Structure 1
Amino acid sequence: MSYKTLLVHIDDSRHTSIRIALALDLARRWDAHLIGLYAVSTDTFRRSFPHENRASFAAFEAQLAERQQSAHDAFLAAAERSGHRSIEWRAPRGPALEVATLHARHADLLILGQDDPRDADSYVAPKFVGSLVLDAGRPALVIPHAATVNSPGENILVAWDGSREAARAVADALPLLKAARYVSVDIVRRAEPHSEAPVGIDVAAWLDSHGVNASFSLTPHRPGTRTGASLLARASDLHFDLIVMGAYGHSRARERVFGGVTQTMLESMTIPVLMSH
């Protein structure tokens, strides 16, 4: 198993160049086709042209086209520097989340960026990344905005709870897990002295059948600390460079609601996280 088609989300934020460089590195690693998908919000940009007249609309369209062309040129230039030739640029029109979801469903792995509240250009749509992970049906490698990221996957922490989502994430991460130097299957829970064998042992055995030599560990629950925060603390303490986990969420009325660990990761991740739903 390998990733043969990667899709990297491109916007106008300052973090885009980091995502593109990482995506190109992964595309070379797996000899994969890389799609650069330009999808941005026009809402904030449109407010700069409040008057509904032809001249204002023309100016809006011209600046939007200029931004898109700049992103296109930067993507091609990065690919040229990397030497990777199998690339494709897409800039579909329409609601950003809808078109991104449609195009994401035809890729093996998505490379997305964590929303950065300090960079207005990183905003695409409400809960864009989490919604894309839940609706696209494809694994997503989400890159944090607050860290320098090299090619991840040397030391991987698998967050395991025995759920369908966790099982999906582990299966989707196999190409990365097989290439890793060290893999740990980890459960965060309160100590139960008379409990049965930890559920992570079975998945470690399954991984072994796929050539992944994984260890098993139980992270003690820290009083007053959320599970997601405990996972991030463990990843930091032991120098993991990637977390693999299932993503949880549902729609409540018209609002997307994420599970606690998923929400913590989307808001507070400090290393890349591969999520599947």
Structure 2
Amino acid sequence: MSYKTLLVHIDDSSRCETRVALALDLARRWDAHVIGLYLVGDDLGKPLFGVDENLLTSLTAHATERRRQAQQTFLAMAERAGRPVEWRAPAGPPVETATLHARHADLLVLGQPDPRDPTTYVDRHFVGELVLGAGRPALVIPHAGAIPTLGENVLIAWDGSREAARAIADALPLLRRARFVGVDVVRRADNFDAASGAIDVAAWLEGHGIRASFSTTPRHGIVGTGATLLNRISDLHADLLVMGAYGHSRARERVWGGVTRTMLESMTVPVLMAH
């Protein structure tokens, strides 16, 4: 198993080039094709009361120029990397449009939204909705910080769920190339039986030629599982987290699992998520 088609989300943010560079590097590893999917917030689709036609024309021209610049940057980076790529800038509702295109890829490369940078905004819960709805694994890149390595020291968050099992299976191409792989179970401080699940996962990975250590990390007091995992990532100097993603709809609003929400908001390293 390997990734042969990568889909990277492209927007107008300064962080986009980091995301594209990572996608091109991954494509080199597996001799994969890269699709650049340009989707940005639809400012022009919102009602414009009291705006004259000249201003609307100017806004449209500005959006066209941003798209042209993004395409030129993407194609230039691909040419320097020597990778075959494809540019797509489809129209339509962002989540639904991205989900359709994502289902024809092996791995999605997405960016964590930055609340301080409006150019990273596409749609409310865009990344989370895509992870849950596309049926494909997504590698989500933090909105800040250098990423000198990716997938050399991998931490797997295991909780025995279907989503976690799916994430590990989807991450196999990355895990096979890792130097270190650890399976960690975050447990309540008084639960000493949690280690068996991590042991079984490590044994399963051994069957795929991947040597993995296993451990349990106690969760103390009011500290949540997500915060405990972030601390564990820091302690181990991990450069990739693999985890299942959780969420469901309630009263027309998406409700995220606690760990999923924490990672989407506060990730410090790239996170491979699957649902």
Instruction: Indicate the SS of the match to 1:75.
Output: helix
1:229-269 deviation digits (Å, cap 9, x = unpaired): 11010111110000000000001121111100000000000
How far off is 1:49 after superposition?
Answer: 6.2
Q: 1:37 touches 1:89 (CA, 8 Å); kept in 2?
A: yes
Deviation of residue 191 (structure 1)? Answer: 3.4
Aligned to 1:200: 198
The 1:193/1:164 distance shift into structure 2, 3 A limit, reads closer
> C-alpha offsets along residues 11-41 of structure 1, whole Å, 9 cap, x if unaligned?
0111101000111010111100000000001
Distance of 2:272 and 2:148 partners within structure 1: 15
The alignment partner of 1:199 has SS state of helix
Range moving further from structure 2, 98-107 or 53-62: 53-62
Give, in angstroms, the shift of residue 203 of structure 1.
1.1
How far did residue 58 of structure 1 move?
Answer: 2.3
Choose from 253, 272, 275 the match for 1:274: 272
Give the alignment of 1:156-195 within 5 angstroms.
Answer: 156-192=154-190, 195=193
Letter in 2 for 1:275: M
Match of 1:179, SS? Answer: coil
Matched, 1:228 2:244: no
Structure 1 stretches of at least 4 aligned residues deviating more than 6 Å after TM superposition: 45-49
Q: Which amino acid aligns with 2:106?
A: D
Q: How many residues align?
A: 275
Residue aligning to 1:89: 87
Report if aligned partners of 1:166, 1:246 keep a CA contact under 8 Å in 2: yes
In the TM superposition, what is the alpha-carbon distance from 1:273 to its structure 2 partner? 0.3
107 and 66 in structure 1: CA distance in 2 versus 1, 3 angstrom threshold = same
1:113 paired to 2:111: yes
Letter in 1 for 2:130: L
Q: In the alignment, what sits opposite 2:35?
A: 35
Say which is worse superposed, 245-254 or 191-200, in terms of deviation.
191-200
Q: Residue by residue, what CA displacement relative to the aligned partner does 1:112-157 show, whole Å, maximum 9, x if unpaired?
A: 0000001010000001111110001100000001211134100000
Task: Flag the 1:8–1:193 CA change in 2: closer, same or farther, 3 A.
Answer: closer
* 1:145 counterpart residue number: 143
- The gaps in structure 2 that reach 5 residues or longer are none
Rounded Cα–Cα distance in structure 2 between residues aligned with 1:31 and 1:95: 31
Percent identity of paired positions between Structure 1 and Structure 2: 65
